[in-house]
Amino acid sequence: MKYSNQDKNHHSWMVVENQFHANHLKKYEAIMTLGNGYMGIRSSHEEHYLDEMRNTFISGTFNRFSEEEVTELPNMPDLTQIKLILDDEVFSLTTGRVIDYRRELHLWNGEVYRVIKWQSPLGKTYKIEFKRFVSHNNLHLLGQQVKVTPLSEEVAINIVSGIDGQVTNSAVQHFIEGNKRFYYGKIQEMQQKTTESDIEIYAHTVHRFVLNEEIMNLKPFMTMDRRKIAGEYACSIPQGQTLTIEKLSMYHTSRDCDLKGDLHDWALSEIEAVGQWGYDLWFEKSAKAMKTFWDEKDILIEGKEGATFDQLAIRFAQFHLKGMTPAHDNRMNIGAKGLSGEGYKGHTFWDTEIFILPYFIYSEPQVARQLLIYRYHSLNSARQKARDNGYKGAMYPWESAWIEDGEVTPVWGAADIVTGERTKIWSGFIEQHITADVAYAVWQYYQVTGDHPFMEDFGFEILAETANFWCSRLEWNSNLNRYEINDVVGPDEYKEHVNNNAFTNYMAHWNIELVIHLYENEPAFRELLSDKMTIEADYHFWQKRLDLIYRPQPNADQIIPQDDTYLQKKNIDLGPYKNKGKVGLLFKDYNLEQVNQMQVTKQADVMILMYLLEHLFTPELKQVNFDYYEPRTLHDSSLSLSTHCVLACDLKKYNLGYSLFEKAARIDLGDNMSSSDQGLHAASIGGMWQCIVNGFGGVRNINGMLRIEPSLPEQWQRLKFEILWQGNPIIIEIEKETLDFSQKVTLSNKGKNQVIVMTKDHPIPLESNGQVVL
C-alpha cells in the first residue's frame, strides 16, 4: 500500500514561500538552508536585499577574531550572488511589480526552486527561474541554475557573478585576504586564510550559458575589488527564448579531512573536473543520494488536517539534521543552530547529546558514533578544564568548538535593563551538567547499538573520566552528612548560583553509579582503563562517595525541589510572558537578578530529569511534578517543549502532548517571522523526532531493553517509522481502525537477530524477519 504523502508533489515534501516579503527574508533563508554537513548555506536570494543575512559556513573552520571574543564559524566568501541586469534595469523584487512568486524547498531531493514573473519598472516582463542545491554526493559542491525568459521583447542581459569575500560575521572579519585569479578564461578563484586558526580556504566558481540548447562562449569582463572577484557576461535573449545560466562552485579548506596533496592543486583540479559538465548532471548525482536517504529513513504520518503539517515537520527535521551534521569528520560536531546562522557561533552544547543524538542513535548509529568520538577527541581539553578549575577527570565545556579549544562560552551577554551594564554569562563556569549529559549519551548509544568496540576505544574512558570529575566536584556538608553540588546553573538558566540542582545531582549520581557497575561487571572496562588511569583507586573513590550524594527527594506535596531554594521563592503571574509567541519577554520588566528570586523556569529542569532517568520516578510522581512545574515554565528555550511532549505522552495525556508537539514543530516552521533569524533550532528539530518516536511512538531504552508503547494523538490516523535496535531494523506501524479508532500496532523485525520488545510491562520476542501485531 502506498501512502499519498509519498508522492513528491505532496505538501508534506516541500517548504513553500508563496509571496515575496522583503521583511521576512531571514525566516526563509534559515528554514530553506541547504547543507550537507560539510557546508551550510542560508537560502539568501541570488540578488541582494537589505535585510538579508547571507551566510555560508563550513563545519569545523573555527576562528577567533581577538582575545576579547570567542571562536566562531566564519562566514565564507559568498558564491550564491548572481546579479541580473536586464536592459539596464537591475532585477530586484523590491522594484517593479511581482506578478508571480513562488519558492519551494524540495525536501526529497534537496533543491531550492524559485519561479518569478516580474514586471520591471519600465514595464518589461520576464519569467525567471532559479534552482540551487548543495551536493549530497560531493561535499564541496554547490550548484545554481537560472533561466531567464523575456516575455515582452528581446532583452540585452548583463550577468555579474563571481565570488564575494566582502562578508563578515556581524561585521567581524575572520579572513586575511589572499590571492584572486581567473584561470583559462573560465575559473574564478579566491583564496583566504583565517586570521588566528590559520585555515586556508579556496572558493572557486565556473559559469556556463546555454541559449536554445547551444552552449554560448561568453567572454567575461573581469573585475577584482577588495576581497571580490566577478565576471560580467553579456548577451541578448530574443523574446520568448530562454537563457540558462549555470554556476557551479566549490569550497576546499586546509582543514578538510579528505584533503589530497597540495590544497590549491587539489581544489583547482576538482573545479576543473566539475566544470566539464552542467548543473543537471551534478544535481542528479546529489538527488540520487537524497533518494537513497529517504527510501531508508522516511517516517510516515497520516491523519486529519494537521497531520500533513506534522508529516512535513518531521521531514523538515530529518532534512535539516542531515544537512547540519558533519558526519564525515569526527573532529566536528553539530552547532546549536546547525550551519544555518550566526547564532551561538557554531558552538556545540548538550543539545547534541540530549536532544539530537537520540535520532542518530536509533536511525543512523554510525553518525551518532562520529558525534561521540568528537567528545573523545575533546577529552584532553575537558581534562584541562577540570585541572584549571581544581577538579579531577574530564569537565566538558559548556560550549564547545574545535576539539582543542576547550571552553568557548562567551563571558558577556546582553544589557542588564536595571544597571545598564552587560550581564555576565555564568554557563561557561558553572553550568556543569553537560559533563553528565555526555556520559548519558555514551551509555544510551551503547545500550541501543551494542557497539562494544566503541566502548573499548572511546566510551569507557569518557565514562570513567566524567565520573572522576563528579567525584572531585562533590562538596561535603558535615552538618547534613552528605555530598552536595553547590553554586551551579541547572538546565533552568533563569536560576544562577543555585545549590543542589536536582537534575545535576541525580545525573552526577547516575554517572558514578554507572562506572561502579562497569568496574564490577565489565572486565574490558577495568582492563583497558588500568593502562591509562589509576582505575582501582578511582573505583574506591567512586564507591566511598556514591551513597552519600544528596539527591533531592519529594517534599510533603510530592514535589522534587528544583534546587535548595526554588520552592521558597515567590510566584508571579506569568500570563504576560507565557505562550506569547515570543521568548524572553520577562526581561522587558525584570533583570536576571530579579528573575532569580521567582518561581519561574526557563525550560524543562526537574522535567528533563524525570525523562532521562525515568526509571527512578513513579508515574504519579511525574504527574504531580508536571502539574507543578509546567505552569511555572516559560519554554523560553527551544529545548523545553519536546521534553514536555514526551512526558505528556508517558503520562498518557496525548492531546496535551500533541499540543506541545504542535508548538515545538512551529519554532522554526511556524509563523513567527523572526524566531529563525539567527538560524534553525537544532535541538528543537531533534526534539521533533523525539516527540514522534519517543513520545507517540513510545520507544524507549529502559536499562538496555527496548520498550515500545505507542499511542497516536487524535489527529493522526497512522504512523510508521523504523528504528535500529542492536543493528536490527525494526519497523513500527501504528494504525487506527476505521470503526472504533482502536490502534493496531505492527512490529516487524528486518534484522538478523531476535529482539525482545517490552510493551505494557511484558516482554515479546520479535524474531528475525518476524512480525508481531499488538
Summarize as ranges the residues that interact with a second copy (CB under 8 A).
22-23, 48-50, 65-69, 90, 94-95, 165-168, 170-173, 176-183, 185, 195, 221-227, 229, 414-415, 417, 420-422, 588
- CA dist., res. 186 & res. 635, Å (int): 52
Question: Between residues 95 and 380, which has the closer beta carbon with respect to a second copy?
Answer: 95
Of 471, 493, 475, the C-alpha closest to 485 is 475
Q: Least separation, in Å, of the C-beta of 217 and a second copy?
A: 16
Question: Between residues 177 and 735, which has the closer beta carbon with respect to a second copy?
Answer: 177
Extended strands (E) in 467-624: 475-477, 482-484
Burial (CB count within 10 angstroms: exposed 0-12, middle 13-18, buried 19+), residue 618: exposed
Question: Between residues 66 and 478, which has the closer beta carbon with respect to a second copy?
Answer: 66
For the chain, the C-alpha Rg in angstroms (whole number) is 27
Locus of grid cell 551536493: 135
Amino acid of residue 435: T
- CA dist., res. 61 & res. 20, Å (int): 33
The answer to whether 749 touches 771, Cβ cutoff 8 Å, is yes
Question: Between residues 330 and 409, which has the closer beta carbon with respect to a second copy?
Answer: 409
CA 582 from centre of chain: 21
Q: Least separation, in Å, of the C-beta of 226 and a second copy?
A: 5
Residues written for the chain: 774
Three-class SS state of 458? helix
Q: Least separation, in Å, of the C-beta of 241 and a second copy?
A: 27
Torsion of CA 522, 527, 532, 537, to 10 degrees: 70
Three-class SS state of 128? strand
Q: How many CB atoms lie within 10 A of CB 388?
A: 11
Q: Least separation, in Å, of the C-beta of 333 and a second copy?
A: 23
Question: Between residues 203 and 287, which has the closer beta carbon with respect to a second copy?
Answer: 203
Burial (CB count within 10 angstroms: exposed 0-12, middle 13-18, buried 19+), residue 68: exposed
Torsion of CA 722, 723, 724, 729, to 10 degrees: -30
What sign results for the dihedral spanned by CA atoms 398, 399, 402, 405?
negative
Helices (runs of H) and strands (runs of E) counted in the chain: 21, 31
Residue 293: strand pairing partners: none
Three-class SS state of 415? strand
Q: Least separation, in Å, of the C-beta of 410 and a second copy?
A: 10
Q: Least separation, in Å, of the C-beta of 68 and a second copy?
A: 5
Q: Least separation, in Å, of the C-beta of 249 and a second copy?
A: 17
Question: Between residues 205 and 726, which has the closer beta carbon with respect to a second copy?
Answer: 205
Q: Least separation, in Å, of the C-beta of 698 and a second copy?
A: 43
Locus of grid cell 531531493: 109
* DSSP string covering 511-564: HHHHHHHHHHH-HHHHHHHHHHS-HHHHHHHHHHHHTTB--PPP-TTSPPPSST
| For helices 535-546 and 502-521, angle between their N-to-C axes, nearest 10 degrees | 130
Q: Least separation, in Å, of the C-beta of 420 and a second copy?
A: 3
Three-class SS state of 111? strand
Residue 736: strand pairing partners: 743
Question: Between residues 416 and 513, which has the closer beta carbon with respect to a second copy?
Answer: 416
Question: Between residues 65 and 519, which has the closer beta carbon with respect to a second copy?
Answer: 65
Question: Between residues 179 and 236, which has the closer beta carbon with respect to a second copy?
Answer: 179
- CA dist., res. 163 & res. 223, Å (int): 11
Question: Between residues 81 and 378, which has the closer beta carbon with respect to a second copy?
Answer: 81
Annotated active-site residue in 200, 364, 399, 493: 493
Phi, psi (rounded to 5 degrees) for 687? -65, -30
Q: Which residues, including other chains, have CB under 8 Å from residue 522's CB and lie 6 or more apart? A: 460
Three-class SS state of 34? strand
Q: Least separation, in Å, of the C-beta of 416 and a second copy?
A: 9
Torsion region of 482: left, alpha or beta (phi above 0 gives left; psi -120 to 50 gives alpha): beta
Q: Which residues of 135-174 are buried (b: 16+ CB within 10 A; e: fewer)?
A: bbbbbbbbbbbbbbbbeeeebebbbbbbbbbebebeeebb
The answer to whether 697 touches 721, Cβ cutoff 8 Å, is yes
Phi, psi (rounded to 5 degrees) for 495? -125, 110
Burial (CB count within 10 angstroms: exposed 0-12, middle 13-18, buried 19+), residue 18: exposed
- CA dist., res. 661 & res. 644, Å (int): 9
- CA dist., res. 570 & res. 530, Å (int): 51
Q: Least separation, in Å, of the C-beta of 773 and a second copy?
A: 56
Identify the H or E element spanning 272. helix 263-274
Question: Between residues 70 and 474, which has the closer beta carbon with respect to a second copy?
Answer: 70
- CA dist., res. 346 & res. 169, Å (int): 11
Q: Least separation, in Å, of the C-beta of 591 and a second copy?
A: 11
Question: Between residues 67 and 761, which has the closer beta carbon with respect to a second copy?
Answer: 67
- CA dist., res. 563 & res. 557, Å (int): 15
Q: Least separation, in Å, of the C-beta of 48 and a second copy?
A: 6
- Residue 493 catalytic? yes
Active centre residues (catalytic) = 493
